Structure 1
Amino acid sequence: MALKNQVQLITYPDSFGGDLPTLNQLLTTYFSDIFKGGVHILPPYPSSGDRGFAPLTYLEIDKTFGGWKDIKEIGKNFDVLLDLMVNHISQKSAYFQDFLEKGDQSDYANLFITLDKLWEDGQPRKEDIDKMFLRRKVPYSTFQIKSTGEDVKVWTTFGRETPSEQIDLDVHSEIFKSLIKTFFENFSKHNVKIVRLDAIGYIIKKIGTSGFFVEPEIYTFLDWIKQLADSLDIALLPEVHAHYSIQYKLAKHGFWIYDFILPYTVLDTLINRNSEGLYDYLKDRPANQFTMLDCHDGVPVKPDMDDLIDTKEAKTLVDHCLAKGANLSYILSDEHKADDGFDVHQIRGSYYSLLNSDDDAYLAARAIQFFVPGIPQVYYVTLLAEENDTEKVAQTGEGREINRHNFTTVDIEQALEKEVVQRLLKLIRFRNEYPAFNGTFSMMDVENDWVQLSWEQGDSFCTLLIDLKTYKTQINYIDENNQNVTLIV
């Protein structure tokens, strides 16, 4: 499928109006010319945890959000992007519950990774686990098979609970491939155009490795699932938080990737008023990327920025963000922490708040994002220039809730009246409509306290100019009458 080089929205199914029918109404009423690139609806499936990321099935939509008919309806006007947690599924799913009931006699027994698939005697070895890139301190959970009373350990990469809510899947099994085919056929039937392969870096478990992005085995799986998606005219977006070299391998392999380097780099550029790091990054970067500034998790730091940042400077930037109310998530594996102990995984907070709630700085950040090659995504919270939701963090004890505020229709209509939001919408319209963004990108050599980026196609030419001393931002472009025009952002 050919992706549209225009701006996309990222939102939870219940965060932008309360449910999917209201989301569709808001999109068609207020944003029909804004999100021409589509809408990424974060997991709308029945789920037992992690705000949708522990799905019970992909064949249903959580009834509190709506139904598949609503996804299909949204898809009539906006390309819909949905997640597939290819690494895991909920322990409350019918598949895993059947396994817990029947054990080896279950039709789904081979769908999960019992430890005997990794160690012949089924006993985990600490020296092997110590080499792995862990997301929880113990990467497996123990359950009891009801029919036999036997305890069984299964691999669980993610999850704060013990036992985990998210049970890893065996991508080598035929039952897994059959289910994935069923899920994709259902996506296709309901107008889903893009599928994000969430947590795909963890799908291959191989003793003696980090258990993350294991080559060449991961490419065998990626080639298989791409062939399936292509047959249904669905685009794929693998989601990998890793050293940038791994991302670049994926891009070279023909996949779209996430630009998880840009959010930190833009933050650093604006807070330190220095474009040197941004320019260094843009000199050698794949163009086939989805760009973003913030999302439902946070601004990536480690391992995404490894070898791209000085940890002492990073600590200073992190401290700035903490002073603006942000909170942090951390790397668990000692092997993946920096030599000096720096272990920040993500900076969690509204990007608007991280930039001091400064309208000009925030719009400068968006302008840089929109001029960097790739398909831009805008997260719903900062679409509306909302600040950190520290109250929700205090209520839930979940740090990620700082940037997951739920908006009613009235909230959204009121936010649309903000000057900063109107300025952002004007910038998005320019990014969507100006033809040069389908042409050639270039950077102009400037002093480190300036940013100057350009696009050109035929008679169309536009240049972004940002004075980092003041955050004043303008776009100079040639209009359809061949006149030079200046757009003040």
Structure 2
Amino acid sequence: MDAQGGSVVGAAVEPRSGHGVELLTYADRLGGDLARLGDLLAGPLSDFDGVHILPFFVPYDGADAGFDPVDHAQVDPRLGDWDQVRALAKGCEVTADLIVNHVSSESAEFRDWLRLSDASPYDGMFLTYATVFPDGGTEQQITAFYRPRPGLPFTAYSHADGQRRLVWTTFLPSQVDLDVHHPRAKDYLRRILTVLRTGGVTTVRLDAVGYAVKTPGTDSFMTAQTLDFVSEITALAREIGLRVLVEVHANYRQQLAIAPLVDLVYDFALPALLLHGFGTHTVDRLAHWLDIRPSNAITVLDTHDGIGVIDAGPGGGQPGLLSLEEMTAIFARAETATNGHSAIASVVPEWAAMPHQINATFFSALGADLTTYLVARAVQLWMPGRPQLYYVGLLGGLDDVELFARTGNGRDVNRHVYDADETADALRSDVTRALLALVRLRSNHRAFDGTFSHRVLGEDRIELTWTGAEASARLEAGFAAQPDLVIELTDAAGSGVVTEPGQLLEL
């Protein structure tokens, strides 16, 4: 039973039916709270059949925007409660995060361990330096660990009796890592999964799972040991009745390796390939990716972490879909398009050649050119898999430089807080109305129940086609200096052609 009295549903969730689109949003940044989010999904955003609500636990506004839960089992009362999450789940599928790598240093479990040391019922739950290096570690071993932020992944904490511990903190000093192999950490993760399922969640995203297993002698990121743990936690989630989405930013081969182990992976390579295509006026790299990409992909262009790009580049000693020089050019073009802002906001991890993500909105990274932006979104919504639109991208948001200036967190340029009036205004804008027309098309046109094919029409032109019973949907996307699109639709009711972005408003 959870805190709200719900019972656990143990039956496995059936795979998503249809071909709908998912919204990615914070509960508080699209009008206020869970109730307001529910109103939007029942009203102007009703063509979305799923919503991934970014961490809404206690507190939702911590040091890492909810990814540092003090209480992962409770909805922050400022946002609502589990009943409201369950109400949302009646109208659309709900995805939530299982923050598998860490908890907040203010969590009851960690505070109890600091107070009672080895007498705590949570002793062993948290990863320490001594856990990984019982006999000590060499400089080479310690510096080999991959960390997405500058510095070493340890923070000093003291028990109440004065004993000092060096606790593993992969991300922030306030985010203490779990020893995911310890029975007490496993019990914790099982409890959270059960609460999520009882609360109406059908899919869990394994946040930061690529960092969860520390193996001396390796960089401890997406190793064979990590894949073993992914298989283990996926089996546990499925046992409870949840589907599993894995978040990994790494060379595209890692996505290919992990895709068969879980239900869903992200296509983080697509945004970089589109930015490369627009910058070089070529489609060959995009076409190659379409030949080999996983079929169980969540298709994104932007997320709360920025614009994922590292996945398309070389990494782990492996070549990428794009070369290092081509990746460098993507960052340079984004810097120009954002008047230098993306270079300031994007963080380069220790010993890395470039950032993981471009910290900018996707619209800003394209110089706020509406046609180019709609071509990019049309390609996204035509891709096989499940498209997911981030709320800032849906509302045509530009970089929130004021929020970044206040917080110093580069990712905040793409995390604007929309109040109810701003949301209403954005929903009336041409860019959002055009995007919602594409969402409605992807969600409702029978062609997307069919089969997908693609072909290259020229150096700067690609065709993406869905063919179903008595229905087809063809997108011709041009990546020339002046991008363009052609959409041809047929079904039992007739046919139609779109050749101008403005015509999307008529769909």
Tell me the TM-score range normalised by the shorter chain. over 0.9
Q: Deviations over 1:381-416 (max 9, x none)?
A: 110111111111112221111111011111111111
Question: Does residue 1:302 correspond to 2:310, yes or no?
Answer: yes
User: 308, 324, 327: which is aligned to 2:342?
Assistant: 327
User: 421, 438, 451: which is aligned to 1:440?
Assistant: 451
Q: Which residue of 1 aligns with 2:394?
A: 383
Instruction: Please show how residues 238-249 of structure 1 align to structure 2 within 5 Å.
Output: 238-249=246-257
Structure 1 residues 61-70 or 310-319, which shifts more?
Answer: 310-319
Quick one: structure 1 residues 268 and 191, their matched pair in 2 at CA, closer, same or farther if it must change by over 3 Å? same
Q: Which residue of 2 aligns with 1:207?
A: 216
Structure 1 residues 110-119 or 309-318, which shifts more?
Answer: 309-318
User: 78, 81, 88: which is aligned to 1:64?
Assistant: 78
Q: Deviations over 1:306-334 (max 9, x none)?
A: 22222223223212211222424344342
Deviation of 1:24 after TM superposition, in Å, equals 0.9
CA contact (8 A) 2:268 2:311 kept: no
AA matched with 1:180: L
Aligned-partner Cα distance in 1 for 2:208–2:266: 12
Q: Deviations over 1:22-59 (max 9, x none)?
A: 111122121112x11x1111101113420101111221
Aligned-partner Cα distance in 2 for 1:403–1:69: 29
Q: Which residue of 2 aligns with 1:477?
A: 489
Structure 1 residues 432-441 or 371-380, which shifts more?
Answer: 432-441
Deviation of 1:270 after TM superposition, in Å, equals 2.2
Deviation of 1:101 after TM superposition, in Å, equals 0.5
Deviation of 1:303 after TM superposition, in Å, equals 5.2
Aligned-partner Cα distance in 1 for 2:442–2:301: 16
Question: Does residue 1:42 correspond to 2:54, yes or no?
Answer: yes
Q: Which residue of 1 aligns with 2:100?
A: 86
CA contact (8 A) 2:396 2:431 kept: yes
Aligned length: 473
CA contact (8 A) 1:436 1:461 kept: yes
Q: Which residue of 2 aligns with 1:134?
A: 147
Q: Which residue of 2 aligns with 1:318?
A: 331
Quick one: structure 1 residues 274 and 220, their matched pair in 2 at CA, closer, same or farther if it must change by over 3 Å? closer
CA contact (8 A) 2:272 2:330 kept: no
Instruction: Please show how residues 462-473 of structure 1 align to structure 2 within 5 Å.
Output: 462-469=473-480, 470-473=482-485
Per the alignment, in what secondary structure is the counterpart of residue 213 of structure 1? coil
Quick one: structure 1 residues 71 and 54, their matched pair in 2 at CA, closer, same or farther if it must change by over 3 Å? same
Aligned-partner Cα distance in 1 for 2:113–2:262: 37
Deviation of 1:198 after TM superposition, in Å, equals 0.3
Q: Which residue of 2 aligns with 1:287?
A: 295
CA contact (8 A) 2:244 2:262 kept: no
Aligned-partner Cα distance in 2 for 1:111–1:391: 39
Instruction: Please show how residues 60-209 of structure 1 align to structure 2 within 5 Å.
Output: 60-121=74-135, 123-136=136-149, 137-146=151-160, 148-159=161-172, 164-209=173-218
Per the alignment, in what secondary structure is the counterpart of residue 90 of structure 2? coil
Aligned-partner Cα distance in 1 for 2:185–2:350: 29
Aligned-partner Cα distance in 2 for 1:468–1:327: 23
What stretches of structure 1 of length at least 5 have no aligned partner?
A: none
Per the alignment, in what secondary structure is the counterpart of residue 467 of structure 2? strand
Q: Which residue of 2 aligns with 1:354?
A: 365
Quick one: structure 1 residues 453 and 303, their matched pair in 2 at CA, closer, same or farther if it must change by over 3 Å? closer
AA matched with 2:323: D
CA contact (8 A) 1:348 1:399 kept: yes
Quick one: structure 1 residues 27 and 173, their matched pair in 2 at CA, closer, same or farther if it must change by over 3 Å? same
CA contact (8 A) 1:262 1:293 kept: yes
CA contact (8 A) 1:271 1:355 kept: no
Instruction: Please show how residues 252-291 of structure 1 align to structure 2 within 5 Å.
Output: 252-291=260-299
Aligned-partner Cα distance in 1 for 2:46–2:309: 34
Question: Does residue 1:419 correspond to 2:430, yes or no?
Answer: yes
Per the alignment, in what secondary structure is the counterpart of residue 52 of structure 1? coil
Aligned-partner Cα distance in 2 for 1:460–1:145: 66
Identity %: 34
What stretches of structure 2 of length at least 5 have no aligned partner?
A: 1-12, 315-319
Q: Which residue of 2 aligns with 1:223?
A: 231
CA contact (8 A) 2:271 2:309 kept: no
Per the alignment, in what secondary structure is the counterpart of residue 258 of structure 1? strand
Q: Which runs of 4+ in 1 moved over 4 A?
A: none
Per the alignment, in what secondary structure is the counterpart of residue 381 of structure 2? helix
Deviation of 1:254 after TM superposition, in Å, equals 4.3
CA contact (8 A) 2:209 2:230 kept: no
Deviation of 1:268 after TM superposition, in Å, equals 1.7
Q: Deviations over 1:118-147 (max 9, x none)?
A: 1124x443110122212341111110101x
CA contact (8 A) 2:347 2:410 kept: no
Aligned-partner Cα distance in 1 for 2:308–2:393: 17
Per the alignment, in what secondary structure is the counterpart of residue 80 of structure 1? strand
Aligned-partner Cα distance in 2 for 1:194–1:90: 23
Aligned-partner Cα distance in 2 for 1:393–1:232: 39
CA contact (8 A) 1:302 1:331 kept: no
Aligned-partner Cα distance in 2 for 1:395–1:172: 39
Per the alignment, in what secondary structure is the counterpart of residue 104 of structure 1? helix
AA matched with 2:295: A
Aligned-partner Cα distance in 1 for 2:272–2:58: 33
CA contact (8 A) 1:241 1:304 kept: no
Per the alignment, in what secondary structure is the counterpart of residue 51 of structure 1? coil
Aligned-partner Cα distance in 2 for 1:11–1:322: 25
AA matched with 1:218: T
Per the alignment, in what secondary structure is the counterpart of residue 403 of structure 2? helix
Aligned-partner Cα distance in 2 for 1:467–1:322: 23
Q: Deviations over 1:6-30 (max 9, x none)?
A: 1111111100101111111122121
Deviation of 1:3 after TM superposition, in Å, equals 2.1
Structure 1 residues 421-430 or 131-140, which shifts more?
Answer: 131-140
Deviation of 1:275 after TM superposition, in Å, equals 1.3
Aligned-partner Cα distance in 1 for 2:290–2:168: 39
Q: Which residue of 1 aligns with 2:317?
A: none
Aligned-partner Cα distance in 2 for 1:468–1:303: 21
CA contact (8 A) 1:270 1:365 kept: no
AA matched with 2:168: W
CA contact (8 A) 2:98 2:193 kept: no
Deviation of 1:426 after TM superposition, in Å, equals 0.8
Per the alignment, in what secondary structure is the counterpart of residue 30 of structure 1? coil
CA contact (8 A) 1:266 1:365 kept: yes
Question: Does residue 1:408 correspond to 2:419, yes or no?
Answer: yes
